[in-house]
Structure 1
Amino acid sequence: MGLLFSHDTLPQRVLFGTGKAAEHLAAEVAAFGATRVMMIAGRRDANTAAGLSARLPVVLHYSDIVQHVPIESAARARAAAREHRVDLLVCLGGGSAVGLAKAVALDTGLPVIAIPTTYAGSEATNVWGLTEDGRKKTGVDARVLPATVIYDAQLSLSLPSGLSVASGLNAMAHCIDSLWGPRADPINAALAAEGIRALATGLPAITDDPAGIEGREQALYGAYLSAVAFASAGSGLHHKICHVLGGTWNMPHAQTHATVLPYVLAFNAPHAPEAESRIAAAFGSPTALEGLNALRKRLDAPRALKNYGFDAADIPEAVSLILPQVPAINPRTVTGENLTELLTAALHGTDAAGLSPVKA
């Protein structure tokens, strides 16, 4: 039988250009007819936010941003938006800033313009996440999809190389998870493969020349593709693991994704030969895991969960929280035993190739 699939493409405007962010933002604010803008940006990005919005009708600069978007943080931002009668949200920064804007949009229906400075990819998805009582809950809602995304590699120059690597490998995880996500299809696969290629080109260029633009442009381009593929394919095993780890133990988002990725790839790839072949080809490597590991070695990527607040004593609880969320379509059956093995290896940073390939 020939190709048979369904694919949803999310409605979104993307503006890409180095040095063009201020120009693009002004044009978009005017197009929305906005008169009361809420600018969401962390303290690290405060000067950039002020510069981009100097001539815009900003009524509130908001910097109370917390990773994993605790429900209390979302409530404060929602109240502030209402108090200032905001009619447009602009967020500048990484996944936490975008996530907070999404939390406000989910409650208010306000449109969002996202200006990402990392490779988190949240700006191109309709997925929201909120953390309450140590548990991270995610959902899908059209209201949280930013209407416009403005990419400007110049704005990412202040992102240190180490964080660029972790954030870029987070984007890589979007690509790889998209190849076996619940709604994986050939279009997602094509986007994901090109995303892997772009990230594998861009991230080494950033570490070689942190002040260079070309590598950062490739990384932003790859991050966008990764997010579009992920938004369509849905959350796979990797993201289910990382959402539990991040929300429950407040682990750093990008570093957690960067650390867990090779273990999920080693776990699933032998059971998904078509996806494995596509990933390997995107890396230009004999196997998917060899390609990823070679890139990680070159980038000096994050290695072990124990470095980010996770402990061996936490593994049983993590397993109990992750197992109910594993997608039924995952290419390999996930059990308490093999998930414990995966998390133990990731905890200590042992060779991912050593995971038992067929144990069910």
Structure 2
Amino acid sequence: MQDFIYCGQTAHVFFGQGSISRLEEAIATVGGTRALLLSTPNQAEQAQALTRGVESIIGVFDGATMHTPVEVTDTALKHIEASEADCLVAFGGGSTIGLAKAIALRTDLPQVAVPTTYAGSEMTPILGQTENGRKTTLKSPKVLPELVIYDVDLTLGLPVGMSGTSGINAIAHAVEGLYAKDTNPVMRMLAAAGIEALAEALPTIARKADDVDARSQALYGAWLCGTVLGSVGMALHHKLCHTLGGTFDLPHAETHTVVLPHALAYNAPAIPDSIDVLRKALKNDDPAQALFVLGRAVNAPASLRELGMPEDGIDKAADQAVENAYWNPRSLERDDLRNLIARAWAGERPAS
């Protein structure tokens, strides 16, 4: 076994059906007495209905949106100041949890995350923000939520399409965690378990959205995959998705779903050990093709074109992908990356 360094992330989790009922306890656990509830406009009604009666919640900000624009964070900070909130409750997916992280970075307010998707952001000290059309990421312990409530009931109403793309987004975290520069045996074990759990659960959810066992398995898998994302570095897949999402304003989970099989195929020749793990987890000799097929099984978009990316953006994205050097197990070659992006744009199968 090779030498490695392991640095675990602090995690306090309430997991189970109905665990939203412990929100008052969760707020007190992180030291809060005046919590601001955060959500997207679409989830505002649900968030308020499920937290009605929680005396510690003293206000609501429902302006969270994709890619965490800095101007939205600035607006939310004014609500923080006006309400004198001393705690944040983020109800929703990556957009809302991202907003809470952005606020925490600037204020040090403790966070209670209540995820309703499988994005896994709640388990990471990573924040992605968008300003002037460019998305940047940072890593800081200040943005890691102090407590997470995983209530399976909150995912039962998650639309099938969003369930699939959100779950494959989570799988992407673990796939890259397998071959990260700073990976270790603990993270590889969590990654394999998370990938297997989600790959088994997502097609069942696509067929029967209210399957509690499958939903529980998917939420558990998302927790594991999010932990991997928060504990080790990422590579080509995540860098490329951030470039595409920030530059062309593409939906986050859908972009990850489209790009993942292609990014894995690109790196496959350089990561034989990780490919062996993925063969077992996905029960398929060609993991990149298996992930492409999984996308079709959950009725996810197959192409960046479907997500709104213009064809003339392929070259722009390829240029940006090699603009800033970052670690990847295979060297980043502009022409090969352009081919990867072009195949993803067209919805073709990944290159073997």
Report TM bin, short chain. Answer: over 0.9
> Partner of 2:144 in structure 1?
145
> Partner of 1:208 in structure 2?
207
Post-superposition shift, 1:48?
A: 2.9
Match of 1:348 among 334, 343, 346: 346
Find the residue that maps to 2:59 and give its secondary structure.
Answer: strand
Structure 2 runs not aligned, ≥5 long? none
> Partner of 1:79 in structure 2?
78
> Partner of 1:32 in structure 2?
30
1-structure distance, mates of 2:135, 2:241: 10
**Larger deviation, residues 55-64 vs 114-123:** 55-64
Matches within 5 A, 1:8-157: 8-22=7-21, 24-50=22-48, 51-157=50-156
Query: Are the counterparts in 2 of residues 126 and 141 from structure 1 also a CA contact under 8 Å?
Result: yes
Residues 94-140 of structure 1, C-alpha deviations (whole Å, 9 max, x = no match): 00000000000000000000000001111000001110110001000
Query: Are the counterparts in 2 of residues 240 and 326 from structure 1 also a CA contact under 8 Å?
Result: no
2-structure distance, mates of 1:102, 1:313: 34
Residues 214-273 of structure 1, C-alpha deviations (whole Å, 9 max, x = no match): 111111111111111111121211000000111111100111000001101111112210
Query: Are the counterparts in 2 of residues 172 and 226 from structure 1 also a CA contact under 8 Å?
Result: yes
2-structure distance, mates of 1:117, 1:291: 26
**Larger deviation, residues 272-281 vs 181-190:** 181-190
Query: Are the counterparts in 1 of residues 241 and 256 from structure 2 also a CA contact under 8 Å?
Result: yes
Give the aligned CA root-mean-square deviation in angstroms: 1.4
Q: Does 1:185 align with 2:184?
A: yes
Residues 292-351 of structure 1, C-alpha deviations (whole Å, 9 max, x = no match): 2342332233200001111221122212222134532x2211111111010000000112
Q: Structure 1's 174 and 32: CA in aligned 2 closer, same or farther, altered over 3 A?
A: closer
Residues 33-64 of structure 1, C-alpha deviations (whole Å, 9 max, x = no match): 42211000123322332222423222211101
Residues 147-191 of structure 1, C-alpha deviations (whole Å, 9 max, x = no match): 001001110122110111111110111111111223222211111
1-structure distance, mates of 2:60, 2:162: 25
> Partner of 2:159 in structure 1?
160
Query: Are the counterparts in 2 of residues 304 and 347 from structure 1 also a CA contact under 8 Å?
Result: yes
2-structure distance, mates of 1:45, 1:245: 26
Number of residue pairs the alignment of both structures matches: 351
2-structure distance, mates of 1:210, 1:60: 32
> Partner of 1:248 in structure 2?
247
Query: Are the counterparts in 2 of residues 91 and 112 from structure 1 also a CA contact under 8 Å?
Result: yes
Post-superposition shift, 1:287?
A: 2.7
**Larger deviation, residues 182-191 vs 240-249:** 182-191
1-structure distance, mates of 2:223, 2:15: 10
Query: Are the counterparts in 2 of residues 41 and 62 from structure 1 also a CA contact under 8 Å?
Result: yes
Q: Structure 1's 312 and 27: CA in aligned 2 closer, same or farther, altered over 3 A?
A: same
Structure 1 runs not aligned, ≥5 long? 355-360
Query: Are the counterparts in 2 of residues 182 and 327 from structure 1 also a CA contact under 8 Å?
Result: no
1-structure distance, mates of 2:297, 2:317: 30
Query: Are the counterparts in 2 of residues 36 and 58 from structure 1 also a CA contact under 8 Å?
Result: yes
Q: Structure 1's 53 and 110: CA in aligned 2 closer, same or farther, altered over 3 A?
A: farther
Query: Are the counterparts in 1 of residues 37 and 59 from structure 2 also a CA contact under 8 Å?
Result: yes
Q: Does 1:300 align with 2:299?
A: yes
> Partner of 2:168 in structure 1?
169
2-structure distance, mates of 1:191, 1:31: 27
Residue type of the partner of 1:42? T
Find the residue that maps to 1:158 and give its secondary structure.
Answer: coil
Post-superposition shift, 1:31?
A: 2.5
TM-score normalized with structure 1 length: 0.94
**Larger deviation, residues 123-132 vs 278-287:** 278-287
| % same residue | 38
Matches within 5 A, 1:238-317: 238-317=237-316
TM-score normalized with structure 2 length: 0.96
